[in-house]
Chain A
Amino acid sequence: MNVRYWLLALATCTALAGSAQAEDTFKIGSSVGLTGYAAVIDRAWRDGLAVAADALNEKGGILGKKIEVITEDNKSQPQDAVVGYRKMISSDQVSLFDSGCVSAGNFAAAAFVMQAKLPMYLCSILPQRDKEQEWAFSFLAPPKFEIEARYRYIKEKTDIRKVGILYDPTPYALMMKGLGEQLAKDFGLEVVAQETYKPDDADMTVQLGRINAAGGGAVIKIGQGGSTVTAAKNIKQLGLDKMLLLSSNDDGSIFQQAGQVLGDRFFFVAPPVQLPKQLKPGPAKDAVDAFLKYWKPKYPDRDPANSARAWDSMMVLAKAAEIAKSTDGTALRDATQKVPSYVGAYATFNFSEKQHVGITENPFLIGKFATGELVVAE
């Protein structure tokens, strides 16, 4: 009888301790592609969330609750993302999602995440359907900003007026390609060729040759990963000595490799956090420094760009929770729409009821690789 008594008491204590711990924790779910095509960006996103959670937990967490980030690898596949999202809703009972850049995975889950009344902070673009967009917030810069930054540079700093677009068929790249066609005239440029490639293509000489034959003096490369280095090598191999390559925003290691190949003919789009030495004192520099203070000691050799976005998303969340005074999903969604303009490490974020793409001001600079480091292209 005594043994039974003790066992019952022990079970009760364990259950109570468990529930108390759950009440003291603010759980954030994150579906990220730690393997597969999105691995480079999404690993950075995961690490940015972890660093931000550590920083916020040092200051007492969110509404006095310790932040716990639960990450599930979606292997860059929608099916795995669906399972991971379901697990985080049913088993982990997260209050909010702050997920990586696998658009298809986020789109596949958007419908039932919306039904569960949980907000989705996303590294990717927003889901397509209006109802799903009401619960989603994108921390990705609108694609036109990357295009505008490059076109402005070509217009103001070079004599080139004919450009070619080299793009991969991902959703973000396709949107950017469409805008590239539309915006060229505004900058006095003409798009003379549009060529596509696959992210794992080992050779792009055919596409680059066509752009050159059409009179393109600069290549607007849309898409991320090693393909940028491949394009740089191919330009050199083809002997196109005057052709410029202007790359999308990407990991700093990619910029270094491409810069080593093409030298001063390689340029890239970069947020301020990727070129911190050139920043002037002000709120943007303060935000970058606040992030790097936690990031650099942990990851001294890693590029901070995508992790800075994840960091910013957590800071926006902290502010939303302060406004909501609750960790309820609906309250957090509504409060996110009321967060005042936030100057982050990656960009300034302006969310509102009708504005769920947070970056509304172009944060991008044009950078180049010189004297062994990434610098602003003057």
Chain B
Amino acid sequence: MTSHVTTSIEPTGIRWQSILPIVAVLALAAVGFVSSDYIVTVLGFAFIYAIFCTGLNFFMGYTGQASFGQSAFAAIGGYGSAILCTDYGWEPLLALFATMVLSGVAAVLVGYPTLRLRGHYLAMATFALGLIVYEITIEWTALTQGYMGYSGVPPLGVAGFTLDTLKQQLVVLVVISLIGVGIAARLRQSRFGRALASIAGSESAARALGVDIARYKLIAFVIAALYASAAGSLFAHFVGFISPEVYGTTMVIQSFAMLYLGGIGTMWGPMIGAIIVSILPETMRGLKEMQDIAYTAVLILILIFAPRGLAGLSVLFRRTRVRVLEKA
């Protein structure tokens, strides 16, 4: 259940190509800024999922491990923020950071024994983690209110300033998601990132090179949990309501679709995947009952023709450019 490392498929060192995705994201945000609340909502969810998937990419893409349980940390973030802000009057931003710390600690406690497992066993263990937290959100009604959910979660804000409109919230989500990608990119190019790539390539070889496998896996797992927690909190503040269904298996499936469609192990893949998977069904809303069939058909076609994800297509452009230059 490990995936081959694909960290070298993107071109580096060409400045305009590095800037292009940022420009595209900002352009998309600008479109949202002049659109209706409906479009803003769709884009808002896309950027929240982009943060979630960027974190998941650390563990699954860069480190080559399988995790089906990241929704557990999103639930900790979401419920933590909802409870702290609604019942205890905390500042949303403070609650977001506090729940990230809580998720990080939970990830260490859970990851330390769990990450000794490998392959399918690790996948099953992380899936169980997601199911356990999902059950807790349903059954521990005194804390989570069960299926009734938490209403009235305030929008994101700090020091008395609240982001009252959806468009203000969209701007913040775009900024946070870009910061998330930026941090991921820096870490990936660091010694730490190269160690993760070596683990993804071959654990035995990485160990021979002196990489502390268990430690690096745990750190990657914790980073993924921090991102997931932030995404869970942002969801709660963006919608103003959460219930167990939000952090269920649907979230896991959706994030996997985003990760593989965008390009697992690539820098911009999670963001591209999140945007495509969020927007694509909306473009097919007019098909009504055929919407899901058409949507999944398009997803399958994309995965057939771009097996490394949409971000991986940049390699094709690079090859074409090289051929053109060689001919010239």
Contacts and interface: CB of A to CB of B under 8 A. Distances in A.
Given A169-B139, A171-B147, A174-B147, A86 B37 contact: yes
B243 A78 contact: yes
Nearest to B135: A198
Contact of B292 (A35, A72, A87, A129): A35
5 contacts: A78-B246, A89-B38, A104-B245, A110-B241, A129-B151
Interface in B104-151: 138-139, 141, 146-149, 151
A73 B288 CA distance: 8
A111 B151 contact: yes
B239 A87 contact: no
A174 B241 contact: no
A371 interface: no
B87 interface: no
A2 interface: no
B3 interface: no
A83 interface: yes
Contact of A129 (B37, B139, B152, B288): B152
A90 B41 CA distance: 11
A174 B146 contact: yes
Given A35-B292, A103-B147, A78 B241 contact: yes
A107 interface: yes
B38 A79 contact: no
A91 interface: yes
A174 B141 contact: yes
Provide the main secondary structure of the chain B interface: helix
B243 A86 contact: no
A304 to B, nearest CB: 22
Contacts of A129: 151-152
A79 B36 contact: no
B146 A87 contact: no
Contact of B37 (A73, A89, A127): A89
Interface of B: 36-39, 41-42, 45, 138-139, 141, 146-149, 151-152, 239-243, 245-246, 250, 282, 285, 288-289, 291-292
Given A78-B239, A89-B37, A111 B152 contact: yes
Contact of A91 (B38, B148, B243): B38
A107 B146 CA distance: 13
Given A78-B246, A107-B149, A170-B147, A90 B239 contact: no
A204 to B, nearest CB: 17
Contact of A77 (B149, B152, B245): B245
Contacts of A111: 151-152, 240-241
Contacts of A76: 245
Nearest to A71: B288
Nearest to A170: B147
A-B CB proximity, top 6 nearest: A90-B36, A90-B38, A108-B241, A104-B243, A86-B38, A87-B38
A150 to B, nearest CB: 22
A158 interface: no
A39 to B, nearest CB: 12
B79 to A, nearest CB: 14
A181 to B, nearest CB: 15
Nearest to B250: A77
Provide the main secondary structure of the chain A interface: helix
A132 interface: yes
B151 A107 contact: yes
A112 B40 CA distance: 14
A82 interface: yes
Given A108-B241, A169-B138, A79 B289 contact: no
A77 B248 CA distance: 10
Contacts of A87: 38, 282, 285
Interface string A120-145: 00000001110010000000000000
Contacts of B149: 78, 104, 107-108
A174 B242 CA distance: 18
Contacts of A174: 141, 146-148
A110 B291 CA distance: 26
Contacts of A132: 151
A50 interface: no
Given A89-B37, A169-B139, A128 B148 contact: yes
Contacts of A171: 146-148
Contacts of B42: 83
A321 interface: no
Nearest to A116: B37
A110 B246 CA distance: 16
Given A73-B289, A103-B148, A112-B240, 6 more contacts: A73-B288, A78-B239, A89-B37, A174-B146, A174-B147, A174-B148
A320 interface: no
B239 A108 contact: yes
B67 to A, nearest CB: 21
A83 B45 contact: yes
A91 B283 CA distance: 13
Contacts of B148: 103, 107, 128, 171, 174
Contacts of A273: none
Contacts of B151: 107, 110-111, 127-129, 132
A170 B149 CA distance: 11
B152 A83 contact: no
Contacts of A107: 148-149, 151, 241, 243
Contacts of A170: 147
A82 B239 contact: yes
A297 to B, nearest CB: 23
A83 B38 contact: yes
Nearest to B248: A77
Contacts of B240: 108, 111-112
Nearest to A92: B38
Of A72, A89, A169, most B-chain CB atoms within 10 Å? A169
Interface in A59-87: 72-73, 76-79, 82-83, 86-87
A107 B244 CA distance: 13
Contacts of A34: 289
A76 B211 CA distance: 46
A72 B284 CA distance: 12
Interface string A248-261: 00000000000000
A35 B290 CA distance: 12
Contact of B239 (A79, A89, A103, A169): A79
